[in-house]
Structure 1
Amino acid sequence: MKQFFLTVLGVFTGLILFIIVIPMVLIIAAAASSGTPATPANSVLELDLREGLTDQVSTNPFAAFGGSGLSVVGIVDTLAQAEKDAQVKVLLVRLPEAGLSPAAADEIRQSIRRFRAAGKVVIAHSQGFMPVGTVISSYMVGASASELWMQNTASFQATGFSANSVFLGRAFEKYGVNAQFEQRYEYKNAVNEFTQSDYTGPHREAMTAWMTSIYDSAIANAASDRKVAAPALKTTIEAGPYSAQQALSLKLVDKIGQVEEAEAEAKRRAGRGSDIIEFSDYASSKGERTGSGRDAIAIVGGEGAIMTGTGGSSTFGGGSSIYSDRTAEAIYDAIEDSAVKAIVFRVSSPGGSPEASEQILAAVRAARAAGKPVVISMGDYAASGGYWISSEADWIVAQPSTLTGSIGVFGGKFVVSEALGRFGVDLRGLSVGGDYSDAFSPSSAFTEGQRAAFSASMDRTYEEFVQRVATGRKIPIARVREIARGRVWTGAQGKTLGLVDQLGGLTEAIGKARELANIPADQSVRYKRFPTPQSPWEALSEVFGVQSEAAQALVALGGVMADPQTRAVMSRIQTERLRGQGASVLADQPLP
């Protein structure tokens, strides 16, 4: 009987795969068979930043559902190749009307400056800068170009930096939801959205401080690139908004024109017979940088919320998360690779599970014990659990606008029995065992003993976090407690506090890794990425199990779908999923 049901399940799964996967494979195979032409002479790369970015290229071949496919690390990698490619003459950047993530904007700006330093032209085009969120970061990227264009009907409304928080305290009180949370300590502000109706003093203080740091950094960078004084640029920007013509007269932009006109100018600057190539097509044709040489530097990726497990259930369309088993295994694989002399661990995470964070940190310790230096490269976030896994590395590199720190912990539950009772729904609970067995039941509030036990666990986790920072950063534990308390800092602020060693991105982290591994600057080096990308067959096997008859039947498709061009098509679209549970070392939510 069991075999019968397994066979039925296999047939059912096979039908689903036949209906969904086979057509997809045929489309991909057709795309792959067409081939990617060599880069033509006098090429213009067109980089469209309007559809959103992830931090890293996904290793999941089925993550390509619902996104632009662009990643910050991918852009850095591709521009590093393009700056050395004699065929590529010009970069055309399409700017978003809303904001870019500040740290992503920092890293893209740095790549653009390196591209320009190679003697190449960058033209940026904007269809307006809207007064939302981090739009000042979009302007900063545009200001780094050789020329910044703006559409004639667009408005320049990048007059500052704004953020909003939703507080549910009054609503929960009105509708009978009891939010019972512990936080360590007053700056661990994620809890406030459930318990308060407005910013607390520490919440307002911390947010204002890091927002000001990001804003001032963006203004300073834009002023440097536009060759004007930062105070003068700040005064001009804050006196807006402006029409496109006014922005031109104030020298906030260089030219007014439609994007087609900017494209024509880019082609003219590229030279005779020039053509425009989509950034993703060029990236696919080049692939990831591999370098050359005897020695290698491992690049380990981690993006999203930190949680235990392998992530095997999220194959189809799953977003990015840092799974402790998979990430720790990637670090151990790099340790065991004799060619690897140092590890660059790219972290972009607002935090998550303390247990998962500690498992990953143990792998970092193992790498150092094996004589392989570990350099952290922080992306948008490396806060809370993201800082936990970074804390004991040899060196930490962060962007000025990276959100980091948040050395603290929170946890709790929602008691919803009263709220449901108002709708005639009665929630009741039963338990056996000790008093703590139903501590997290949503049907009743913590008992006095449960609350005391839970509070003690929060204290232990907080002290463990503080101890790891003190050990890794060589800061007296009393000082760590002063700068911790759950407070979020920017990378620039973190550097002054000793939480960060150097400002920069992946390029700077690789440079430091070479130095710590004693690899001469003039010696070629290879880049090895961990975890290695899964083939579609490996991903399918992970979901359905190697004993699934339906999955086994797809092995013939593995050859087609494992093709590098096929993987390039599949990996164009990325998504992000954040998840946390129980006691979490999780920072505030990402910026809009």
Structure 2
Amino acid sequence: MKQFFLTVLGVFTGLILFVVVIPVVLLTVAVASTAKPTTPANTVLELDLRDGISDQPSTNPFAAFGGSGLALTQVVDGLHQAQGDASVKAVLIRLPEGGMTPAVADELRQAVHRFRASGKPVFAHSQGFAPTGAVMSTYMVGASASELWMQNTAGFQATGFSADSLFLGRAFQKYGVKADFEQRYEYKNAVNEYTQSDYTGPHREAMTAWMSSIYDSALGQAARDRKTTAPALRSLIEAGPYTAEQALANRLIDKVGQVEEAETAAKSRAGKGAEIVEFGEYLSQKGERTGSGRSAIAIVGGEGAIVTGRGGAGSFGGGSSIHSDDTAEAIYDAIEDRDVKAIVFRVSSPGGSPEASEQILAAVRAARAAGKPVVVSMGAYAASGGYWVSSQADWIVAQPTTLTGSIGVFGGKFVLADALGRFGVDMRGLTVGGEYADAFSPSQSFTPAQRAAFAGSMDRIYDDFIGRVATGRKLPVERVREIARGRVWTGAQALPLGLVDQLGGLTEAVAKARELARIPADQSVRFKRFPKEKSPWEAISEMFGVQTEAARTLIMLGGVMADPQAQAVMQRVNGERMRSQGAVVLADQPMF
């Protein structure tokens, strides 16, 4: 019977390889071997933002199976290339109806302005601005266009910025779950959702402050682009909502019409015989901008929660994490590359493991010690552990609405014994060793001695964090303690506090890296990206736990998977996971 199940599993595995993997690999090879199509002479690029975009492209060649595949850094790079591409005459942006991640919107707006500075128009079309999340950030991107269109049946409901938090304190109390946590300090609000039924004073204060900062920033930028004042735009918007016709009458938009009409207008501006080309298709044709010259600037990417260990291809899609081994290795590779004169570290992370964060920060310090300046470019988040890894860079660039800071730590456990007991499930524990051996058992609360020991570890991590920030930012320790306490700041708020050096995006970070590396302004530079994207063979080998050559052999000889000895290959599929560390330097993550 066991042999039967092993054989069935082998046949099923072989089918997966033949039905899924082989077509993907063959398609990849076929596409790579086919000449890239040329862009039509008069092209309108259509950038659809309605499915959302990640901050950075994945190194997994199969990641496109998990989503739209568009990344912010690729869009910015594509718009830069389109500026000088004689065949691209205009851009049409399809706006989402809801809110957009504010820092993403900031970077897109900057890229739109650079594109328009080349003399080419940008059209934006909206099917409505719904009252969800940071919808003002979405409107800000639309306002940066040459013409902002709205569908006739759509509503202009961008009247402010709202966010909701879910508190489980009463539910946990009702069902016997105890959230046994320590936090450093009162602004480290991620714990509150487990322990409270409403905002605490510090939680409400900090959240209101960064929401107001984001709202004010979006209003100010949109007002400049609509050629009005921020107070006037605020009064007008907050008097809404409006129909599309009312929005037009109030000069909040430029045209009312269907997207097909906006496309026709864009093609008319582009010239005779103009064609619409999807932005992703254009990116595939052009590839990444690599530049030229003897000197190179390394672009090291990191997006997602920070965890220890190495990442694998994992699956044919999925989310992102910053794995400390991979990211540190990427920085060390850039250090060892003689052509690389400076490193731009793109960080978009709400934080994670303090141990993983310290491993990455050690690589940043090593780069500086090797004489290679490190400039951090912060994305949507660079908070808590994301700030830890950034804190000792030579220069930090953040968007006005980047969420950063959150210099603090929390940790603990959920005690489940009482909750399970109400359903007739009894949890009991056994332990051998010291008193701290079962400290994180869900069957009982911390003992006084365990809590004292755990609280001590929280204090040590917090002090380590404070010390690294004080050293990196050249601030007195006591000053860092004042502005830390787990509080989240926007980039605009962090600048006068000394937590960041400059407002801007990846473009500004690259310019600063050139300056710090003393690369002459008239000298071309190359861009080298780390870690490099894996080949399909490498990704397959990681997914199935075998060497690249073995992966090739298994694919070509898929029938061998019926052999029981080959079954082990399929048993080692690795998924993403956040290892339990007892403590995390992780910021609460707003939903935009």
TM-score, normalisation: structure 1: 0.93
Residue 437 of structure 1 corresponds to 437
**Offset at residue 81 of structure 1 (A):** 0.3
* Residues 152 and 257, structure 1, Cα contact 8 Å, conserved in 2: yes
Task: Tell me, yes or no, if structure 1 residue 126 matches structure 2 residue 126.
Answer: yes
CA-CA distance at 1:42 after TM superposition = 1.4
CA contact (8 A) 2:541 2:550 kept: no
Alignment correspondent of 1:344: 344
> Equivalences for 1:124-523 in 2 at 5 Å?
124-312=124-312, 314-523=314-523
Per-residue CA deviation, residues 391-431 of structure 1 (Å, 9 max, x unaligned), is 00000000000000000000000001100111111111111
TM-superposition CA deviations, 1:450-469 (whole Å, max 9, x none): 01100000000000000000
Q: How many Å separate the matches in 1 of 2:305 and 2:206?
A: 22
Counterpart contact for 2:60–2:313, Cα < 8 Å: no
Distance 1:432 1:35 in 2: 66
CA distance in 1, matches of 2:285, 2:556: 25
- 1:93 and 1:487 map into 2 onto residues whose CA distance is 35
* CA 142–173 in structure 1, closer or farther in 2 if over 3 Å, else same: same
Per-residue displacement from partner, 1:120-178 (whole Å, max 9, x unpaired)? 00000000000000111000000000000011110000000000000000000000000
Q: Distance in 2 between matches of 1:7 and 1:257?
A: 60
Residue 37 to residue 453, structure 1, CA distance change in 2 (3 Å) = same
| Larger deviation, residues 244-253 vs 28-37 | 28-37
CA distance in 2, matches of 1:576, 1:155: 40
Matched to 2:499, the amino acid is L
1:459-510 CA deviation, whole Å, 9 max, x = no partner? 0000000000000000000000000000000000000100000000000000
Residue 262 of structure 1 deviates from its aligned partner by 0.2
What's the counterpart of residue 54 of structure 2? 54
Please identify, of 545-554 and 457-466, the stretch whose mean Cα deviation from structure 2 is larger. Answer: 545-554
Q: Per the alignment, in what secondary structure is the counterpart of residue 260 of structure 1? A: helix
- Deviations along 1:508-530, one digit per CA (max 9) or x if unpaired, are 00000000000011110000000
| CA distance, structure 1, for counterparts of residue 132 and residue 252 of structure 2 | 18
Distance 2:580 2:103 in 1: 23
The SS at the match of 1:64 is helix
CA shift at 1:9, angstroms? 7.9
8 Å CA contact 2:97, 2:127 repeated in 1: yes
- Encode CA deviations 1:244-300: one digit per residue, 9 max, x unaligned: 000001000001010000000000000111111000000000000100000000000
- Specify every segment of 5 or more residues in structure 1 that has no aligned partner in the other structure, as ranges: 558-574
Contact 1:346 / 1:378 at 8 angstroms: preserved in 2?
yes
Partner of 1:65, secondary structure, is: helix
1:533-553 per-position Cα deviation (integer Å, ceiling 9, x unaligned): 100111111232335996242
1:536-555 pair list within 5 angstroms: 536-546=536-546, 551-553=551-553
1:180 counterpart SS class: strand
Matched-pair contact (CA < 8 Å) for 1:347–1:378:
yes
How many angstroms apart in 1 are the aligned matches of 2:389 and 2:548? 36
1:37 aligned partner:
37
Report the Cα distance in structure 1 between the residues aligned to 2:116 and 2:170, rounded to whole angstroms.
53
Q: Is the 8 A contact 2:313 2:539 kept in 1?
A: no
Given that 1:130 and 1:158 are in contact with CA atoms closer than 8 Å, whether structure 2 keeps it comes out as yes
How far, CA to CA, are the matches of 1:299 and 1:321 in structure 2?
A: 17
Shift of 1:20: 2.3
Corresponding residue SS for 1:427:
coil
Cα distance in 2, alignment partners of residues 478 and 88 from structure 1: 54
Alpha-carbon distance in 1 for matches of 2:271, 2:161: 39
**2:565 corresponds to:** none
Say if 1:547 and 1:520 are closer, same or farther in 2 by CA, change over 3 A.
closer
Q: How many residues align?
A: 573
Change (3 A) 1:126 1:579: farther
For the Cα contact (< 8 Å) 1:153–1:244, is it kept in 2? yes
* Matching residue's letter, 2:209: A
- SS at structure 1 position matched to 2:109: helix
576-585 or 200-209: which moved more? 576-585
**Cα distance between partner residues in 2 of 1:180 and 1:351:** 21
The 1-side partners of 2:39 and 2:267 are apart by 15
- Compared with structure 1, are the counterparts of its residues 454 and 12 closer, same or farther at alpha carbon in structure 2 (3 Å cutoff)? same
Identify the residue that residue 562 of structure 2 maps to in structure 1. none
Moved more, 15-24 or 576-585: 576-585
8 Å contact kept, 2:296–2:526: yes
Checking the alignment, whether the CA contact within 8 Å between 1:406 and 1:488 is kept in structure 2 is yes
Equivalent residue, structure 2, for 1:570: none
Code of the residue aligned with 2:339 in structure 1: it is A
Give SS of 1:489's match: strand
**Residue 343 of structure 2: SS of its match in structure 1?**
strand
State the AA in 2 paired with 1:370. Answer: A
1:14 to partner: Cα distance:
3.5
- Which amino acid counterpart does residue 183 of structure 1 have in structure 2? Q
Q: Is the 8 A contact 2:18 2:555 kept in 1?
A: no
Contact in 2 for aligned 1:382/1:403 (Cα 8 Å): yes
Given the superposition, is the C-alpha separation of residues 18 and 555 from structure 1 closer, same or farther in structure 2, using an over 3 Å criterion? Answer: closer
| Distance in 2 between residues matched to 1:185 and 1:122, nearest whole Å | 46
Alignment RMSD (CA, Å) = 2.2
1:55-84 deviation line (CA, Å, top 9, x unaligned): 001111122222111111011110010011
* Distance of 2:115 and 2:462 partners within structure 1: 44
Structure 1 letter corresponding to 2:444: S
Secondary structure, counterpart of 2:65 in structure 1: coil
- Unaligned 5+ runs, structure 2: 558-574
Alpha-carbon distance in 2 for matches of 1:591, 1:474: 33
More displaced stretch, 28-37 vs 409-418: 28-37
Once residues 258 and 231 of structure 2 are traced to their aligned partners in structure 1, the CA distance between those partners, rounded to angstroms, is 31
Q: Helix, strand or coil: the match of 2:450?
A: helix
1:349, 1:549 → 2: CA distance? Answer: 34
Structure 1 residues 578 and 493: CA distance shift in structure 2, 3 A: farther
Distance 1:579 1:44, change over 3 A: farther
Distance 1:258 1:5 in 2: 57
Which stretch shifts more, 537-546 or 103-112? Answer: 537-546
| Equivalent position amino acid for 2:215 in 1 | Y
Q: CA deviation at 1:576?
A: 10
SS of 2:194's partner is helix
Task: Look up the equivalent residue of 1:140 and give its one-letter code.
Answer: M
What amino acid is the match of 1:98? G
Assess, with a 3 A threshold, how the Cα gap between structure 1 residues 69 and 160 changes in structure 2: closer, same or farther: same
Structure-2 change in CA distance of 1:494 and 1:413 (3 Å): same
**Is the Cα–Cα contact under 8 Å of residues 25 and 536 in structure 2 kept in the other structure?**
no
| Identity, % of aligned positions | 76
Q: 1:62 to 1:202 in 2, by over 3 A?
A: same
1:26 deviates by 4.6
Distance 1:548 1:418, change over 3 A: farther
The 1:228/1:554 distance shift into structure 2, 3 A limit, reads farther
Q: Do the aligned residues in 2 keep the contact of 1:306 with 1:580 (CA within 8 Å)?
A: no
Please give the residue correspondences for 1:74-85 in structure 2 after superposition, counting only pairs within 5 Å.
74-85=74-85
The match for 2:99 is: 99
Once the two structures are superposed, what CA deviation does each residue of 1:187-239 show, in whole Å capped at 9, x if it has no partner?
00000000000000000000000000000000000001111111100110010
Partner Cα distance (1:545, 1:137) in 2: 43
- Could you tell me whether the CA contact under 8 Å between 2:314 and 2:576 is conserved in 1? no
Structure 1 Cα separation of the partners of residues 210 and 289 of structure 2? 34
**Could you tell me how far apart the structure 2 residues matched to 1:187 and 1:381 are?**
17
